């Protein structure tokens, strides 16, 4: 059978998908949906996760004008989520998934260093501004720190606080190459940053570490299916963990320096095993 711009409701009813997904497919056809923005509004209307709505949308686009076999149709799984048309919607899909499954949860906890996934703005603002999630990193420190100006800090002021800011989607350079980068920035300018600049003298101030990711290693979602979005977001979370783990020796060196009570002109020796 051939259908001229009409998606058969009978065939939809035979699909092995949830009832609400069948309703949404029919909605796409009834309203002749033709953009991801429309998909977003319909997904909100039916309380459907956006990645599910987008998967159904690509299934609708592929089959709405074509022959159907007796076995029915499968969910479409081949399209470019980073295309110019899709990249903004893909960011929204990823942010909504992370907001639902990861935000406010601890993703790193070792040696007193804790990392918690945070959104600094609403999903709508982050999509409009092209923002990525952050991981707030904290580490309690007990002791006093005297900075390069002779000021002494103690209590909450000597604790470490910072944020890992890592792209969740690639951006393009002027020559068309795709890049994903990260910055781990300290908020503790009067203590940790001063220590880095004047005690550690590693050439940094408030930057703990920064760099670029191997895009081939992180890959990209193949489609908007639950499995693909979860796989990609889990890998992104793992990368944040590794960035913090990579920085842990530096943070612990600062902690030792403060807690051992070393003077401004000495280095911490505890972790090197020296007395």
Number of domains present in the structure of the chain: 2
Asked whether residue 1 carries a pLDDT value surpassing 50, the answer given is no
At 27 the pLDDT is 86
The reply to whether 126 and 189 lie within a common domain is yes
Among 17-31, 67-81, 212-226, the minimum mean pLDDT is found in 67-81
C-alpha gyration radius of the chain: 25
Buried b (16+ CB within 10 A) or exposed e, 168-191: bbbeeeeeeeeebebbbbbebeeb
With cut-offs at 50, 70 and 90, classify the pLDDT of residue 258.
very high
The reply to whether 53 and 186 lie within a common domain is no
The reply to whether 19 and 152 lie within a common domain is no
Dihedral, 267, 269, 274, 275 alpha carbons, nearest 10: 80
pLDDT per residue over 62-115, tens digit each?
A: 776 553 344 455 666 777 888 888 889 999 999 999 999 999 999 999 999 999
pLDDT per residue over 116-132, tens digit each?
A: 999 989 999 999 999 99
The reply to whether 162 and 233 lie within a common domain is yes
Selected residue with higher pLDDT from 29 and 208 = 208
The reply to whether 58 and 154 lie within a common domain is no
* Average pLDDT value for residue range 53-60: 86
Give 108's strand partners.
115
Instruction: Flag whether 48 is in a domain.
Output: yes
The reply to whether 101 and 47 lie within a common domain is no
**Residue pair 24/15 in contact by the 8 Å Cβ criterion:** no
The reply to whether 236 and 135 lie within a common domain is yes
Instruction: Flag whether 91 is in a domain.
Output: no
The reply to whether 107 and 229 lie within a common domain is yes
The reply to whether 156 and 231 lie within a common domain is yes
Q: Which domain holds residue 36?
A: 9-76
Instruction: Flag whether 45 is in a domain.
Output: yes
Selected residue with higher pLDDT from 193 and 76 = 193
The reply to whether 107 and 70 lie within a common domain is no
The reply to whether 44 and 170 lie within a common domain is no
The reply to whether 19 and 119 lie within a common domain is no
Mean pLDDT (the chain, rounded):
84
At 274 the pLDDT is 37
At 15 the pLDDT is 56
* Average pLDDT value for residue range 203-213: 92
Asked whether residue 275 carries a pLDDT value surpassing 70, the answer given is no
Scanning 15-163, the segments in alpha helix (DSSP H) are: 19-30, 36-45, 50-63, 87-101, 123-129
Among 43-52, 53-62, 144-153, the minimum mean pLDDT is found in 53-62
* Average pLDDT value for residue range 182-195: 94
Structure tokens that stand for 112 in this block: 């007193």
Instruction: Flag whether 86 is in a domain.
Output: no
């Amino acid at each position: 059978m051939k259908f001229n711009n009409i998606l058969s409701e009978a065939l939809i009813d035979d699909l092995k998908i949830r009832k609400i997904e069948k309703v949404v497919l029919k909605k796409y056809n009834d309203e002749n949906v033709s953009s991801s923005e429309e998909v977003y509004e319909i997904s909100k209307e039916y309380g459907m996760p956006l990645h599910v709505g987008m998967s159904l949308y690509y299934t609708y686009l592929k089959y709405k004008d074509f022959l159907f076999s007796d076995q029915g149709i499968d969910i479409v799984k081949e399209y470019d989520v980073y295309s110019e048309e899709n990249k903004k919607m893909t960011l929204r899909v990823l942010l909504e998934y992370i907001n639902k499954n990861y935000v406010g949860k601890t993703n790193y906890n070792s040696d007193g260093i804790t990392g918690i996934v945070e959104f600094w703005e609403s999903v709508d603002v982050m999509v409009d501004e092209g923002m990525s999630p952050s991981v707030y990193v904290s580490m309690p420190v007990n002791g006093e720190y005297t900075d390069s100006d002779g000021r002494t800090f103690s209590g909450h002021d000597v604790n470490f606080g910072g944020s890992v800011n890592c792209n969740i989607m690639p951006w393009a350079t002027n020559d068309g190459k795709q890049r994903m980068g990260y910055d781990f920035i300290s908020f503790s300018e009067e203590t940790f940053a001063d220590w880095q600049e004047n005690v550690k003298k590693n050439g940094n101030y408030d930057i703990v570490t920064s760099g670029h990711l191997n895009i081939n290693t992180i890959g990209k979602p193949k489609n908007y299916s639950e499995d693909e979005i979860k796989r990609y977001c889990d890998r992104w979370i793992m990368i944040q963990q590794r960035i913090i783990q990579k920085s842990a020796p530096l943070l612990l060196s600062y902690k030792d320096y403060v807690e051992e009570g070393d003077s401004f002109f000495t280095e911490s020796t505890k972790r090197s095993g020296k007395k």
